[in-house]
Structure 1
Amino acid sequence: MSGGLFAETDTNSIYFSRADANQNLGAWSDHPFKLEGKQWPTVEHYYQAMKFEDESWQEKIRLTETPKQARKLGRKWLRKPRKDWAKVKVVYMTRAVYTKCMSYSNVADELLATADKKLVENSAYDYFWGCGRDRRGNNKYGEVLMNIRDKLRQPAA
């Protein structure tokens, strides 16, 4: 019996960090892709830029050197995100991750290699995109990846 709150080994799940630039399935990995007529350095750059309707601010975010800088600009408290952001943010994240997978076969292959395992964004602080400290978060990023994995498995029409 485990002495902790969580099982010591969870063989049905794969835990990862979307903010780890060394993980291909993360939003910070160095996999530039083209979307909406522009080249985006990372998924994080695209996601943070799409929070805003102001194209000059989007461009400023797109041109930052690192995903960390893009996130910082995307969280500026002086800039209000678009009014529908809460409703559309999962769509934008999905669009970016799917485009990245379609642009890099090695990333798509890595996602497909996860078989039917549950993918969990292991953030102690993010209860929306991640599982949160108590692992009861929404894990939306993991869901995005699992939905894309299902889409990649479908035969081409």
Structure 2
Amino acid sequence: MFQHDISLEQAYSFSRLDETCLLSTVTAHPFELEGDTWATAEHYYQAKKFVKPQDIEEITKSESGVDAYKLGNRWWKRGRAKDWKQKRRVMMTRALYTKVMAFEEVKEALLDTGDDKIVETSMYDPYWGIGRDQRGENMMGQIWMDIRAKVRADIRIKAHGISA
């Protein structure tokens, strides 16, 4: 039997698809990455799943981050990049790090989490979230905590006048 994880009760919790949470992937914070402008981190992430230009364009032009999520997660959709599972964490990290560096309010929201564990609360996605049984990988939370550590390290370097 698994034991209840008390650290989840004290964690900073959010949903990836919450349009009001600055740490979600669907907030309207456009950024430039790889020569294109992306309306949200979710637009970038979902577009990178596919290889067919028409699929990429459909996702890129979608109205919102939630729409991009829905388009990229159609179960019947063909044409995904063959190595997507190996690349997905890198793609999400790129999108979220770029979002943080482009928007001071997102950086502040991330730093305001202090040393709290960051948890994506999806009950249905045990990779990005904690899953229904709270034993998911919480990869979204892990990425945010890694970015937070990087941002803090950059702040310390700047404060001490050390060039990177």
Task: Give yes or no for TM over 0.5.
Answer: yes
TM-fit CA distance, 1:66: 1.5
TM-fit CA distance, 1:36: 1.3
Greater displacement, 56-65 / 101-110:
56-65
% same residue = 45
| Unmatched segments (≥5 aa) in structure 2 | 159-163
Output the CA distance in 1 between the equivalents of 2:65 and 2:148: 24
Q: Does 1:135 align with 2:134?
A: yes
Structure 1 SS opposite 2:9: coil
TM-fit CA distance, 1:80: 3.0
Taking only aligned residues, the RMSD between alpha carbons, in angstroms, comes to: 1.9
TM-fit CA distance, 1:32: 0.9
Structure 2 SS opposite 1:28: coil
Number of residue pairs matched by the alignment: 153
TM-fit CA distance, 1:110: 1.1
Q: Does 1:49 align with 2:47?
A: yes
Structure 2 SS opposite 1:34: strand
Aligned to 1:99: 98
Output the CA distance in 1 between the equivalents of 2:65 and 2:58: 12
Output the CA distance in 1 between the equivalents of 2:68 and 2:24: 15
Structure 2 SS opposite 1:44: helix
Q: 1:23 aligns with which of 12, 21, 46?
A: 21
Match for 1:81: what amino acid? R
| Unmatched segments (≥5 aa) in structure 1 | none
Structure 1 SS opposite 2:119: strand
For 1:1-157, list aligned pairs within 5 A.
Answer: 7=6, 10-11=9-10, 13-76=11-74, 77-154=76-153, 155-156=157-158, 157=164
Q: Deviations over 1:56-80 (max 9, x none)?
A: 3212211100222212221231323
Higher helix share: 2
Match for 2:28: what amino acid? D
Structure 1 stretches of at least 4 aligned residues deviating more than 4 Å after TM superposition? none
Taking structure 2 as the reference length, the TM-score comes to 0.86
Output the CA distance in 1 between the equivalents of 2:29 and 2:72: 20
